[in-house]
């Protein structure tokens, strides 16, 4: 699809890209300054991170998520994805994973030689994590003499942007404890939660059996800096994992880039300006994502309500017939149709392991109207001047509003077929 987008752009056609999952707000000036000030730091640093940074991150998790974490539970790596891979290498066992799920999990499982048991969640229930479905899949797996040891998912969830309630988390962790499953909880969007209940981690109710993943890619828009975090369980197993990770990190990446570690010290530190910035970025993501969500609902498109991050996961199954009349049978066909006819680029649900016939798409709001760094800066400055969500969208988001209007036209086109 990206190739086709390039072709279309080269031919002078406008394309609205809702495919990228990259947060694009500017680097916070204090964090940028810390990076510059530490440009001379050129020595190898400890494989799992400098001790003061591990302590700062532990305190951050306590401050923001109310999770008691000790410094030796914190390990850092070049992105949470690398840490997840390193942990899959260190841990034993097969993986059980609800779908739809972030596409990289499948690749990481293959790369680390882990068997992956994918368990589809219920579209009628917004794909929420359903313990009964996991339980059913475990029983079926047991009949084939398989027993997954690792439960992998993201919360907040990519691709639906839903979050787990405390009650759901409790139910899930009771199940995991009962089945002796180690939870790999990808919480890279944890700080981008705008649900009033806040971010809930399985580590709140099952600290001994949960590994939490995080990093600076999303809430600080620093994906390219490659900075990830894993919080290990406060147990003997956690200590063994820390040792294993030290060996793996030592063999592969040696340490996280030295100046980035010092800049991360500021990003995770208790600075009121940085805290206000993280909050502002979350509010901007919320305004942009909720705007498009409200528009979709207005046109009658069904979509899980986003409570974090910047994704929407609508289904167009309601228009199966008119779509079939246009040669659109799968979510991939639908993605192509939208690109060719409405110049909107999205990711098909099948990318996330979903049934192609569910006709679901993932729309990311993170890129529109922030295509250049200048635009990203101007939007951020505008929001600081006037944080009213409606005016923020109206004054600063011509392209986002254009996408809403094109999606309305698309739905109107499909509805025409129902008319007598």
Ligand X SMILES: Cc1ncc(COP(=O)(O)O)c(C=O)c1O
Please give the backbone phi and psi of residue 73, each rounded to the nearest 5 degrees, phi first.
-80, -15
Distance of CA 116 to CAs 83, 202, 209, 348, Å?
18, 21, 19, 21
Q: Which of 155, 217, 257, 265 binds ligand X (CB under 6 A)?
A: 217
Residue from 19, 26, 79, 100 that binds ligand X (CB under 6 A)?
A: 79
- Report d(CA 186, CA 316) in Å as an integer: 28
Minimum CB distance to ligand X, residue 10 (Å)? 26
Q: Which of 410, 397, 166 is nearest to 289 (CA)?
A: 397
- Contact between 24 and ligand X (CB under 6 A)? no
* CB 349, CB 313: distance < 8 Å: yes
Sign of CA dihedral 134, 140, 142, 146: negative
CA distance 195 to 218: 17
Smaller CB distance to ligand X: residue 80 or 210? 80
- Name the minimum Å distance from CB 402 to ligand X: 25
> Is 319 a residue that touches ligand X (CB under 6 A)?
no
Residue nearest to ligand X (CB): 79
Give least dist CB 186 to ligand X, A: 5
Three-state SS at 211? strand
Least distance (Å) from ligand X to the CB of residue 154?
A: 4
Binding residues for ligand X, total number by CB under 6 A:
13
Q: Which of 208, 233, 222, 205 is nearest to 87 (CA)?
A: 233
Cβ proximity to ligand X: between 134 and 212 the closer is 212
> Is 186 among the residues that bind ligand X (CB under 6 A)?
yes
Scanning 47-55, 78-86, 173-181, 279-287 for contacts with ligand X by CB under 6 A, the matching segment is 78-86
Q: Which residues of 303-326 are buried (b: 16+ CB within 10 A; e: fewer)?
A: bbebbbbbbbbbbbbebeebbeee
* Residue closer to ligand X (CB basis): 80 or 257: 80
Select from 38, 56, 106, 158 the one that contacts ligand X (CB under 6 A): 158
DSSP 104-137: HHHHHHHHTT--EEEEEPPGGGTT---HHHHHHH
Is 187 a binding residue for ligand X by CB under 6 A? The answer is no
Options 228, 259, 335, 348; binder of ligand X; rule CB under 6 A: 228
Q: Which of 56, 154, 205, 396 binds ligand X (CB under 6 A)?
A: 154
Q: Which residue in the set 16, 65, 85, 102 belongs to the binding site for ligand X (CB under 6 A)?
A: 102
DSSP state of 18: -
Using the minimum distance from each CB to ligand X, give the nearer residue, 138 or 256.
256
**Whole-number Å distance between alpha carbons of 209 and 203:** 8
Query: Toward ligand X, which CB reaches closer, 102 or 277?
Result: 102
Kindly tell me which residue out of 23, 38, 80, 366 binds ligand X, with binding defined by CB under 6 A. 80
Q: Which is nearer to ligand X, 223 or 382 (CB)?
A: 223
Among 148, 209, 215, 348, binds ligand X (CB under 6 A): 215
DSSP three-state, residue 414: helix
Please tell me the number of Cα atoms within 13 Å of 248 on its side-chain side: 21
Residue closer to ligand X by CB (options 188, 344) is: 188
**CB-based contacts of 113, cutoff 8 Å, min separation 6:** none
Residue owning tokens 């990519």: 158
Q: Please identify, among the stretches 54-62, 76-84, 332-340, 370-378, the one whose residues bind ligand X according to the rule CB under 6 A.
A: 76-84
In which order are the strands placed within the sheet that holds 311-312? 311-312, 361-364, 347-348
> Applying CB under 6 A, does 188 fall inside the site for ligand X?
yes
Residue closer to ligand X by CB (options 190, 414) is 190
Whole-angstrom distance, CA of residue 125 vs CA of residue 304: 8
CB of residue 419 to ligand X, shortest distance in Å: 40
Minimum CB–partner distance for residue 228 and ligand X (Å): 4
User: What's CA 220's distance to the chain center, in Å?
Assistant: 13
Strands 311-312 and 361-364: antiparallel
Shortest approach of ligand X to residue 256 CB, angstroms? 11
- Of 212 and 400, nearer to ligand X (C-beta) is 212
Q: Which two tokens stand for residue 102?
A: 């972030």
Contact range with ligand X by CB under 6 A, out of 118-126, 215-223, 236-244, 278-286: 215-223
| DSSP one-letter code for 263 | H
Does position 81 bind ligand X by CB under 6 A? Answer: yes
Positions that interact with ligand X (CB under 6 A)? 21, 79-81, 102, 154, 158, 186, 188, 215, 217, 223, 228
């Amino acid at each position: 699809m990206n190739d086709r987008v390039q072709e279309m752009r080269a031919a002078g056609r406008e394309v609205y890209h809702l495919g990228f999952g990259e947060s694009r707000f500017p680097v916070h000036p204090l964090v940028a300054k810390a990076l510059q000030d530490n440009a001379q730091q050129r020595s190898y640093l400890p494989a799992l991170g400098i001790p003061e940074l591990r302590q700062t991150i532990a305190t951050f998790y306590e401050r923001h998520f109310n999770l008691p974490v000790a410094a030796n539970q914190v390990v850092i790596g070049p992105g949470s994805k690398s840490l997840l891979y390193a942990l899959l290498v260190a841990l034993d066992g097969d993986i059980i994973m609800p779908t739809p799920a972030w596409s990289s999990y499948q690749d990481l499982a293959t790369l680390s030689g882990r068997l992956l048991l994918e368990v589809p969640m219920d579209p009628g229930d917004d794909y929420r994590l359903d313990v009964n479905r996991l339980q059913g899949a475990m029983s079926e797996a047991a009949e084939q003499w398989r027993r997954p040891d690792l439960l992998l998912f993201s919360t907040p969830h990519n691709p639906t942007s839903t979050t787990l309630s405390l009650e759901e988390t409790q139910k899930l962790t009771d199940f995991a404890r009962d089945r002796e499953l180690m939870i790999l909880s990808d919480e890279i969007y944890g700080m981008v939660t705008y649900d009033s209940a806040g971010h809930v981690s399985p580590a709140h109710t099952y600290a001994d059996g949960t590994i939490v993943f995080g990093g600076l890619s999303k809430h600080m828009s620093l994906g390219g800096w490659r900075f990830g975090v894993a919080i290990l369980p406060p147990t003997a197993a956690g200590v063994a994992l820390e040792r294993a990770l030290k060996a793996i990190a030592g063999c592969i990446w040696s340490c996280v880039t030295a100046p980035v570690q010092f800049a991360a010290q500021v990003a995770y530190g208790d600075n009121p300006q940085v805290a206000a910035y993280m909050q502002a970025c979350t509010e901007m993501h919320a305004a942009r994502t909720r705007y498009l969500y409200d528009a979709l609902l207005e046109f009658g498109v069904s979509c899980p309500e986003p409570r974090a991050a910047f994704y929407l996961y609508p289904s167009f199954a309601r228009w199966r017939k008119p779509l079939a009349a246009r040669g659109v049978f799968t979510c991939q066909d639908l993605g192509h149709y939208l690109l060719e006819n409405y110049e909107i680029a999205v990711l098909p649900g099948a990318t996330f392991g979903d049934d192609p016939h569910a006709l679901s798409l993932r729309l990311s709001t993170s890129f529109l109207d922030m295509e250049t760094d200048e635009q990203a800066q101007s939007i951020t400055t505008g929001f600081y001047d006037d944080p009213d969500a409606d005016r923020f969208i109206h004054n600063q988001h011509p392209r986002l509003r254009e996408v809403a209007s094109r999606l309305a036209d698309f739905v109107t086109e499909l509805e025409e077929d129902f008319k007598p």
